[in-house]
Amino acid sequence: MKRFVVPFVALLAAAVIGGVASVGLWEAVDDDTAPAAAAATATVNRPVAVKSGSVADIYEQTIPGVVEITAQSAASGQPGGGATATGSGWVLDSEGHIVTNQHVVDGASEVSVKFHDGTEVQADVVGTDPSSDVALLKLTEVPDDLQPLERGSSESLRIGDPVVAIGSPFGLEGTVTAGIVSAKNRQLQAPNSYTIDGAIQTDAALNHGNSGGPLLDFEGRVVGMNSQIASESGGNVGIGYAVPIETIERVVEQLKSGGAVAYAYLGVQLGDAQGGGAQIGEVRSGAPADDAGLESGDVVTKLDGDEINDGDDLRGAIAAHKPGDKVELTIERDGETQTITVTLGTRPS
Per DSSP, the three-state class of 68 is strand
Bridge pairing between strands 134-139 and 278-283: unpaired
Give the C-alpha separation, 261 to 348, whole Å.
11
Give CA separation, 162 vs 88, 219, 250, in Å.
21, 10, 25
Per DSSP, the three-state class of 38 is coil
Instruction: Say which of 154, 168, 211, 227 is annotated catalytic.
Output: 211
Instruction: Say which of 103, 203, 208, 227 is annotated catalytic.
Output: 103
Q: 261 with 169: CB under 8 angstroms? A: no
Percentages helix, strand, coil for the chain, rounded to the nearest 5? 15, 40, 50
* DSSP symbols for 216-237: E-TTS-EEEEEEEEE-SSSS--
Catalytic status, residue 103: yes
Nearby residues of 218 by Cβ (< 8 Å), 6 or more positions away: 52, 53, 58, 161, 162, 163, 164
Give the C-alpha separation, 70 to 91, whole Å.
15
Nearest CA to 194 among 251, 260, 265? 265
Catalytic status, residue 94: no
Per DSSP, the three-state class of 64 is helix
Instruction: Say which of 133, 197, 217, 313 is annotated catalytic.
Output: 133
Q: 136 with 105: CB under 8 angstroms? A: no
| 115-138 CB burial, b ≥16 within 10 A, e <16 | beeeeebebebbbbbbbbbbbbbb
Q: Which residues does the annotation mark as catalytic? A: 103, 133, 211
